[in-house]
Structure 1
Amino acid sequence: MLLIGIVAIFASLGLLFKALGVFGKQESVAAARLRELTESEVVVAGSAKDLHQASKGGLGYRLTPRGIVDKAERNYMLAGRPDGSSVAKILMQKVIFGAVGLGLGIMVYSSKGGLLGVMMLVGAPLLGYFAPDIILNGKAVRRQEEIQYALPDLLDQITISIESGTSFENALARTGQTGKGPLAEEIVRTVQDIGLGLPRREAYESLVARTDVDELRKFVRSILQGEEFGVPVSDIVREQAQEMRVGRRLRAEGVANQIPVKMLLPLMGTILPVLFIIVIGPAIISAIGQFKGA
């Protein structure tokens, strides 16, 4: 068993070196970009089907179930496609870390045995396999929260630009260029998609798919419906900004209201035992003294 664990660890290290390009030819920039493209990105770039199939040649794709691959691709998109990473690398990390965890679990089980060995044998591979997913999901959630928080202020800027005589598209482009953060980056990309010839509705729907923020989805739906019924865009943007600002305040109040409940358990676990010792301790000591004197 110990030998199997050692072999598993060395095999995982070999896969890691291969994934990092220590051995073998480095992947070209074009090939790396091709691996990162998904169907949602290549509407203008070319055939989505061909590029999507071309990105499936990695070992991580072949060793990972389809459902987990889809979830990793979605979280990678929601996380903003972090620099230096790709879905293929993330899937390879899952395989490598899972194998390393399995090797460590086998080694601990062989040397220690018992409940600890069984827990390591089962838990270490699972933790190693799902650790990249947990990290990626955390990045995606933080990015969505940043977009959600910045959206009301961005809509205020768009409203000011529209009221000064700028069209909605130009106001959107100017706001994205002058802004910072993930929301501004997504706005700039949406404007670029429209400039490349992508229909506005598809560009807006792609923006919603890349972010998956309910407030942004509601705003896009309102803009599209307003264009259909001839409602002034400035009125829609102003109303949406006001509603989102109220929603942001309500969310902050909700978080503040949850603080006492979350603090209850730590207080009970730290302060109450000390109070119990201070209040009951002298009585216990006195009772022990009386029993000894009797």
Structure 2
Amino acid sequence: MTLLLITGVVLVLVSITLVGMAIAKPQAQGVHRSIAVLEAMSTAPSELTEELNQPFSERVLEPLQARALKIGKRFTGADSSDRIRRKLDLAGNPRNLTVDQIIAGKVIGAVIGLALSVGVTALLGTSFSLRVVAIAAGVVIGFMAPNLYLYQSAYDRSARLQRELPDAIDLMTICVESGLGFDAAVQQVAANTEGPLAEEFARVLREMQIGQSRAEALRALADRTNVPEVRSFVSAMVQADSFGIPIAQVLRVQSSEIRVKRRQRAEEKAQQVPVKITIPLIFCILPTLFIAVMGPAAISIMENFKG
């Protein structure tokens, strides 16, 4: 019995050892293989690892944008670059977009619109004619999406410029009357305020620092906007600089005129409210009112006739 017990214990220990070796061997091989791969990557020539070390935008997005740009230039007109650059200036160059990115975005948007329209019409199971119309609409909307984005950005920016200009002129008037020059007053507005008007004034100062005259920098500001008040302000400042008129007096007059125009614009919008509310009143409010008022009476009349 003792011999059998010793033999059994030895066999159990041997089996445990063999199982441990079998489990540890693949793990060791896997570790050695991973180490070998890392060593090969670290010792590989730079020409082989350069492509893998590039970010996703350089490996995929930039070649895709280049191909889309080539296709987009074939479908856009010769003067499309100037028109897009003008729209970018009016929109304040959002997200540092360029003309080439907008043209490439048109092609990419058209492809995305095509894919979405095909997928949606396939899921809904529409007829062939309706599917063709939906696909054409998706392509057109995707192609025009960058233009719509620029238009909305330019509209919002113009509205902010129009709203911020009176306060900026008041601040400049206070600075000039306290003894500062016009350039220093513009710098105070650019430093102490936020928004597109402060950015434009900061750009005017930078252009003056690189050698442009004050009149040229202000005219460039007027060219980058389509707000009548800004153009009027720039024209008055250029004339005052040319004829030697006191800047404080011109600023005070401009502030008064712009505030009058803003009051008149608010009154105009208030007078447009009754006209604009007519359509929702006719098609949304009155039908529900008729249903709530005349519905019970119509139901009771129909029941009486049936009786």
Q: Flag structure 2 segments of 5+ consecutive residues without an equivalent.
A: 1-55
Report SS of the residue matched to 1:23.
helix
Give yes or no for the alignment of 1:76 onto 2:64. no
Matched, 1:85 2:85: no
Deviation at residue 25 of structure 1 after TM alignment: 7.0
Aligned match of 1:140 = 154
Task: Determine which structure has greater relative contact order: mean sequence separation of CA pairs < 8 Å that are 6+ residues apart, divided by chain length.
Answer: 1
Contact map agreement 1:61 1:88 (CA 8 A) in 2: no
Match of 1:273 among 270, 282, 287: 287
- Indicate which of 178, 182, 196 corresponds to 1:168: 182
Residues 1:181 and 2:195 aligned together: yes
Q: Which residue of 2 aligns with 1:62?
A: 73
1:119 deviates by: 1.9
Which residue is equivalent to 2:210? 196
Relative to structure 1, the CA distance from residue 61 to residue 236 in structure 2 (aligned partners, 3 Å threshold; closer, same or farther) is: farther
Instruction: Decide whether aligned partners of structure 1 residues 272 and 168 sit closer, same or farther in structure 2, where only a CA change above 3 A counts.
Output: same
Instruction: Report deviation, 1:154.
Output: 0.7
Aligned-partner residue type, residue 109 of structure 2: F
Range that drifts further, 104-113 or 279-288: 104-113
Listed one character per residue, the Cα deviations across residues 104-143 of structure 1 (whole Å, up to 9, x for unaligned) are 5556678633442132132111101001110111011111
Q: Deviations over 1:20-69 (max 9, x none)?
A: 5342879xxxxxxxxxxxxxxxxxxxxxxxxxxxxxx9436623223443
Cα deviation digits, residues 251-276 of structure 1 (max 9, x gap): 12222222233223223333312221
Cα distance change of structure 1 residues 133 and 245 upon mapping to structure 2, 3 Å threshold: same
Deviates more, 1:139-148 or 1:75-84: 75-84
In the TM superposition, what is the alpha-carbon distance from 1:189 to its structure 2 partner?
A: 0.9
2:265 corresponds in structure 1 to 251
CA contact (8 A) 1:108 1:120 kept: no
| 1:261 has 2:261 as partner | no
Percent identity between the two aligned chains: 37
> Quick one: distance in 1 between partners of 2:216 and 2:231?
13
Separation in 2 of the partners of 1:25 and 1:91?
Answer: 14
Taking the aligned partners of 2:269 and 2:129, their CA distance within structure 1 comes to 40
Using the size of structure 2 for normalisation, the TM-score is 0.72
Normalising by structure 1, report the TM-score.
0.75
Instruction: Report the alpha carbon displacement of residue 215 of structure 1 after superposing the two structures with TM.
Output: 0.8
Conserved? CA contact 1:158–1:237, under 8 Å? yes
Which whole-Å CA distance do the structure 2 matches of 1:284 and 1:216 have between them? 60
Cα distance in 1, alignment partners of residues 184 and 242 from structure 2: 20
CA distance in 1, matches of 2:96, 2:136: 31
| Larger CA deviation: 257-266 vs 191-200 | 257-266
Distance 1:198 1:60, change over 3 A: farther
Specify the structure having the higher radius of gyration (Cα): 2
RMSD: 2.7
**Cα distance change on mapping 1:178 and 1:283 into 2, 3 Å:** closer
The 1-side partners of 2:245 and 2:237 are apart by 9
State the one-letter code of the partner of 1:97: G
Q: Which has the higher helix share?
A: 2
The unaligned stretches of length 5 or more in structure 1 are: 1-18, 27-56
Distance, in Å, in 1 between the alignment partners of 2:61 and 2:133 is: 37
- Once residues 286 and 24 of structure 1 are traced to their aligned partners in structure 2, the CA distance between those partners, rounded to angstroms, is 68
Residue of structure 1 equivalent to 2:163: 149
Contact in 2 for aligned 1:156/1:241 (Cα 8 Å): yes
Q: How big is the shift at 1:188?
A: 1.0
Question: 1:271 corresponds to which letter in structure 2?
Answer: I
Q: Displacement of 1:234 after TM fit?
A: 1.0
Out of 219-228 and 108-117, give the one that drifted further: 108-117
Residue of structure 2 equivalent to 1:21: 58
Partner in structure 1 of residue 233 of structure 2 = 219
Are residue 240 (structure 1) and residue 240 (structure 2) matched?
no
Residues in 1 aligned to 2:298 and 2:285: alpha-carbon distance in whole angstroms: 19
Q: What is the alpha-carbon distance in structure 1 between the residues aligned to residue 78 and residue 241 of structure 2?
A: 39
CA shift for structure 1 position 158: 0.9
| Paired letter, 1:230 | G
For residues 61 and 267 of structure 2, the distance between their equivalents in structure 1, rounded to whole angstroms, comes to: 55
How many residues align? The count is 246
